[in-house]
Amino acid sequence: MITTFLEMLSYAFLVRALIVGVLVSLCASLLGVSLVLKRYSMIGDGLSHVGFGTLAIATALNVAPLMVSIPVVVIAAFLLLRISENSKIKGDAAIALISSGALAIGVVVISMTTGMNTDVCNYLFGSILAMSKSDVYLSIALAAVVLFLFLLFYHRIFAVTFDETFAKAAGIKTGVYNMLLAFLTAITIALGMRMMGAMLISSLIIFPALSSMRVFKQFKTVTISSGLISVIAFVIGVVISYLYATPTGASVVIVNMFIFILFWVIKIFKGRTGL
C-alpha cells in the first residue's frame, strides 16, 4: 500500500485531491461531533444541495465555482439556523424546503446550459479531477481558518453543544456560537463538495462522529478520534479509488461505513466483556 501511495503522489491532480480532501475531512469530522450531538447533522445534507445549485449557476455563468458557492452556502446556513430557531417551520422541514428547492434549481440550470450529461454525476457524486491549483490554495486558507476558529472557541463550542441553557445562563452568547458552527460547516461543505459530491459530502460530517461515539464517551476523545478516523478513511478511500477505478467519494463513504461497523462491533464486545 505504501508503494501504491508513493506512486499516486507522482500525479499532480491526486496530490491536489489528497491535500484538499485531508483538510476537508479533518474540518468536517471536528465540526461533526458538535453537529451530531446538537442534532444538526442533516444541515450538512441541506447545505450540500444548496452548493449543488450554486455550482450549476457558477458553471452556467463561467465564473469560479468556489467564489460563488461559498458565500451562498454561508448565507443558506444562517437562514437554516434562523428558520429552525424562530419559525414555525421545524429544522428538518426547513432543511428539506431549502435543499430540495436548491437541487431543483441546479438540475434545471444544468439541463438548460450543458444538457443532462456526465457533468450532473460529477456535481452529485464528486470528481477527483475537479480541483484546480487555485481551489487548492483557497481550500488551504479556508481550512486553516476553520481549524483556527474551532480550536480558539473550543471550550465555548463544547459548552453550547452539551447544555445550551446553562451556557446561556453563564453569559455565553449561544446564538453567536451556533452561528459560528453554521458558518464553519458551510465553508467545509463548500470546499469538499466538488470532490465528494452533493449527495455524499454530509457523510464526512456524520460517519466519523458516530463511529467514535460507539467506543469513546468524552467530548475531547471523541473529537480527536473522529478527526483521525476521517483522515484515515479518506486516504484509504482514495487509494481504493486509484487501484480499482471506483468513484472517489463513494469509496470514501464505504470505508467510513466499514469503520462504523467495526467500532459498533467493538462496542458490543466491550459491553459483553465488561471492559
Domain hosting residue 145, numbered range? 2-273
User: pLDDT tier at 130 (50, 70, 90 boundaries)?
Assistant: low
Give me the percent of the chain exceeding a pLDDT of 70: 90
User: Quick one: cell of 108?
Assistant: 434545471
In one letter, which amino acid is 249?
A: G
Instruction: Provide the number of structural domains found in the chain.
Output: 1
Over residues 207-216, the pLDDT tens digits come to 999 999 999 9
3-state DSSP assignment of residue 54: helix
What is the maximal distance between C-alpha atoms in the chain?
A: 60
**Cβ–Cβ < 8 Å for 255, 242:** no
Instruction: Give the sign of the dihedral formed by CA 188, CA 189, CA 190, CA 195.
Output: positive
Confidence check: pLDDT of 163 > 50? yes
Over residues 4-20, the pLDDT tens digits come to 777 888 888 888 888 88
CA of 33: how far to CAs of 27, 107, 142, in Å?
A: 11, 32, 20
pTM: predicted TM-score of the whole model, two decimal places: 0.87
If you search the block for the grid coordinates 459483553, which residue do you land on? 272
**Nearest CA among 239, 241, 240, 232 for reference residue 259:** 232
Mean model confidence pLDDT for the chain? 83
Q: Which residues contact 256 (CB under 8 A, 6 or more apart)?
A: 203, 204, 207, 208, 211, 229, 230, 233, 237
CATH code of the domain in which 133 resides = 1.10.3470.10
